[in-house]
Chains A and B, each alone.
Chain A
Amino acid sequence: MPDFDPKTSPTKAPLRRLMAASLGLAAVFAPMGMNAQQATSPSISLFGTPGFIDNPSGELLPDGQIALTFGGLGGVLRSTATFQIAPRLIGSFRYAAHGPGLWDYINYDRSFDFAYQVLSESARLPSLTFGMRDFAGTGRYSSEYFVATKHLTPALTVSGGLAWGRLGGDTRAKLIGGDAIHTYKNWFTGSLGFFGGARWQVNDRLAVVGEYSNDTYALETTDYGFDRRSPWNFGATYQLHDWNLGLYYAYGSEIGFRATYQLNPMTPRIMGGRDNAPPLVAHRDGVVDSWGLSWTSDQAQLDSTRTRLTDALEQQGMVLEGVTLEGTRATIWVRNRRFGANTQAVGRAARVMTQVLPASVEVLTVVPVVNGVETTAVTVKRTDMETLEWAANGSHDMRGRAVFEDGIAFTLPPQDRVPGVYPDFSYKFSPYFSPSLFDPDAPIRADFGVQLEASYTPRPGLIFSGQIRQPLVGNLNTNTRVSDSVLPHVRSDAAEYDRQTGLELSHLTAEYFFRPRANVYGRVTVGYLERMYGGISAEVLWAPDARKFALGAELNYVAQRDFDVGLGFQDYRVATGHVSAYYRLNDRYQAQIDAGRYLAGDWGATFRVERRFQNDWRVGVFATLTDVPFDTFGEGAFDKGIYFNVPHSWLTGDPSRKGYSNTIHVISRDGGARLDVRNRLYDTVSGFEEPHLSDRWGRFWR
């Protein structure tokens, strides 16, 4: 029904007050039922994967879904992040603690799982899924299984499977303890056992689960007296807002609990963001006085145009670096500091041009500048801007008419540079939080402190910058671990750095970015490159326009820094470098191979595969194999792990170019360790090039 009472009409006066009060239409955003689908999603087990209590089922989560689960029973606590990598493929990372009492643990353990649904459920047949639990850790939970799952009715799900390893009742106890390494040789060994479960969805929120578990908990029984009396487990799960909660009675003696939070990278807090409205395209019809070209020789008008452009672009979070006016065409060089989608910045910059430039200008070119170098230039016709701004299919049509060209053809002429942009000095004082996760002795250590960053850019592409940090509170320095690595201690002395440092110089560098030729970007960095190394780093990236691949090469000569992270160096010196290939498999997956020499002087290659969401969410896995033998490497055999990036704008709905990212190594040691230099080229420029521009073209008119 109508929301206004049609009998009353507000007068102007209260309306003004209303406006003055500025209620702000965008200030209030209703919380969205982001996870409405969860009620019908599979229940999550104590292992954080689709399943019942301890047992997995063969069910899947929605594509891209991430489930964060925390739960435990009988002296076991497990934290798991599960990711629906592809529609049929699930992966999990888990950190578990085991011990005799609540909060009293004697062992911490990391594990990885995956599961692949081989056959989908049909009207008559169940789905069939193959999975491996803990396939790459210590092997404490290692199992390989097939499981079949069927929804007998929409509310009733049953599942049964066969497993090798722990799920099948056979603990690979010989794997545990000491420096034993779980490898593929242990897969599919031992006897097969049965496991199964059922779930009844009572209503939208409540479900009842039961299962038959063959897990003997032999290790936990030996280690601290886990009391297993029965294979039968029961429980109930309840959906409370965004959380799914579980309460269980398991193994005839234990009470268990679980909490799961699900999110999906494809579901940001606010679709399309809460970015303010864009500038409007100014139309030229009716404006006749500036159709002539006399203005091109009028210096005062040129200056005023430049000032107005600078001003209007600043309102859009952009810095105007230069402008060239040529009668019927205009080119602007802009630095986008606000929008995660470069397409959106280009769209807004082009609209600003229509507001400011004389009517004779028909061809508008926007050249985004990153670290002082020109990236892919986008050229649009002003007439198209005028006609397509609000057109039903305006975004698609605009994409069809826009022209992309390598920025090297649009080198900013010195005389067209906006005066005062360089030199540029800026600094920032801010708090920081630096955690160290999943150490075998303590699950988390962290420091809180303050940091000062400063940068000085005397001319485009040349950047002097540094950062100092002072921890205020924290316990990073309580790590007493001493490296037993037989390789040069290129990373394994991290604890020594934490212990010895106070006020630290995180980095202090001179960077130079340049474009040596078409499709090629270059970088040279000199100074204290990262916390543990200083020296020189040089990189080139060849990124052919609108292709799926890019190639890069990086060469570094570095010295290990002193443990106090000050100005001094230790004796260790190494030449390290890689040749990198980046390949976009499709609009969802990207692969990367870096082959070369690592910090310890070992030779090898790093393989990465990541799910790259177009909003810049990334979740990936990597593994590094080098000529260091597995037993020389030590625990873990080789370096591997997961990494992710969460864009700020996804979390907040506000436009931002920043994100949270982290890399979790299964075990961080000295083999396959890479220099951690800032501003590597691919991540810096790829978002400004095709195909990423087209990927997010929907933002052009946003």
Chain B
Amino acid sequence: MMIRHLFGALLGAVVLTGCDAGPSGEGTGLNALQGKDFRNDPRAAARVERLAQADAPSILFKIVDRDVLGALYLTQRRGTRSIWLSPDNSMVVLDRGVITATRGLGWDLMSAEVEATAQLIQNAREGRARRVHRHLDGEDRLIARSFFCEITTRGTRRITYGGRDVTTHLMEENCAHGDQKFRNLYWVQSGSGTVLQSRQWAGDGLGNLAIRHVQ
């Protein structure tokens, strides 16, 4: 009897945890129920392994708040945009070193308009820029948020890149949208304008991402 009443005590939880899979389940294919682990993607891993063997450019990538670190390899470059892939099939898209999208990380940055920022950063110039981020909300709607940013230089820094000391301009981008503020940092190679290292904010869920070009 005791047990039965203990069950009663758990009702509140049971109301929302009960029962059979409902009508949203797939109708026919029972194969669908057998589901493999979709993240376990040997092809993506093999592809990245091939990229690594071919000495494709790579970046070290860190989701700062989750304290997760990984290596991503260049899988596609078109114009100023480069797409980087991880062995477990996550993706980061950079435009002249500025993050414009992520995929497979959760709370992904679906797209970003960063043209003005990218131009200033590339030329190590100070100025103002507007950027727009788009994220999916909980109901799969794209929510756009636009930020007003101020880009300033913090002088030159020497960092190690490809086994050599190189001189970089450390650029700081301070952005705000209402109460929300974030700060991005870019280490821009003198002369080439290449962003060798950066720390960029990618949204509420992802937080700060740290990126370092390895070679």
Binding site for B on A (CB under 8 A): 2-4, 6-12, 15-16, 18-19, 22-30, 32, 66, 68-70, 77, 79-81, 93, 95, 97, 103-105, 108, 261, 264-268, 270-278, 280, 283, 315, 317, 319, 335, 337-338, 340-341, 343, 370-372, 390-396, 424, 426-428, 430, 432-435, 437-438, 442-444, 453-455, 457, 463, 465, 613-616, 644-647, 653-662, 664, 678-680, 683-684, 687, 695-699, 701-702
Contact = CB atoms under 8 A, between A and B. Distances in A.
B182 to A, nearest CB: 14
B163 interface: yes
A343 B139 CA distance: 13
A426 B13 contact: no
The 3 closest A-B pairs by CB, nearest first: A661-B22, A79-B12, A277-B91
The winner among B15, B75, B86 for most chain A CB atoms within 10 A is B15
B190 to A, nearest CB: 14
A392 B33 contact: no
B118 interface: no
A695 B39 contact: no
Contact of B24 (A108, A394, A616): A616
B98 interface: no
A457 B185 CA distance: 58
A675 B179 CA distance: 54
Given A395-B110, A655-B38, A661-B19, A280 B75 contact: yes
A679 B81 CA distance: 46
Contacts of B24: 340, 616, 645, 647, 657-659, 661, 683, 687
Given A272-B136, A283-B78, 5 more contacts: A2-B210, A6-B159, A24-B39, A430-B33, A646-B16
B15 A93 contact: yes
B71 A19 contact: yes
Given A2-B199, A395-B142, A702-B103, A30 B30 contact: no
A391 B134 CA distance: 11
Contact of B104 (A9, A276, A645, A658): A276
Interface string B72-87: 0001101001010111
Contacts of A659: 21-25
B62 interface: yes
B189 interface: no
Nearest to B26: A657
Contacts of A463: 27-28
A522 B9 CA distance: 45
Interface in B38-55: 38-39, 41, 43-45, 48-49, 52, 55
Contact of B106 (A274, A283, A664): A274
Interface residues of B, number: 108
B194 to A, nearest CB: 15
Contacts of A698: 110, 136, 140-142
B63 interface: yes
B119 interface: no
Interface of B: 2, 4-35, 38-39, 41, 43-45, 48-49, 52, 55, 58, 60-71, 75-76, 78, 81, 83, 85-91, 93, 100-101, 103-108, 110-113, 132, 134-142, 157-163, 185, 187, 197, 199, 205, 208, 210, 212, 214-215
A234 to B, nearest CB: 24
A321 B65 CA distance: 43
Nearest to B18: A662
17 contacts: A4-B60, A18-B70, A24-B86, A25-B68, A70-B12, A81-B12, A266-B139, A271-B137, A272-B110, A277-B91, A437-B15, A442-B8, A614-B141, A656-B35, A661-B22, A678-B27, A683-B23
Contacts of A442: 4, 8
Contacts of B199: 2-3
Contact of A23 (B16, B68, B112): B68
Given A79-B15, A390-B81, A9 B70 contact: no
A276 B23 contact: no
Contact of A81 (B15, B55, B63): B15
Contacts of B17: 660
Given A2-B185, A77-B8, A25 B86 contact: yes
A656 B36 CA distance: 11
Given A276-B39, A277-B91, A315-B41, A9 B160 contact: yes
Nearest to B62: A3
Contact of A26 (B2, B19, B90): B90
A550 to B, nearest CB: 15
Contacts of B67: 28
Nearest to B91: A277
A108 B5 CA distance: 11
A539 B145 CA distance: 46
Given A15-B58, A25-B88, A274 B13 contact: no
